Amino acid sequence: MKLSDCRKCKFYDGEIDGNTVCCRFWNTVDYRLIVPCKSGEAQVIVCPSDAMASV
Residues in CB range of 31: below 8 A, 6 or more apart? 16, 20, 21, 22, 23
* 43 CB neighbour count, 10 Å cutoff: 17
Top-confidence residue, 30 or 53: 30
Give the pLDDT score at 14.
94
Per-residue pLDDT reduced to its tens digit, 8-50: 999 999 999 889 999 998 888 888 899 988 888 898 887 777 6
* Spatial distance between the Cα atoms of 28 and 26, rounded to a whole number of angstroms: 5
What's the pLDDT band for 54 if we cut at 50, 70, 90? very low
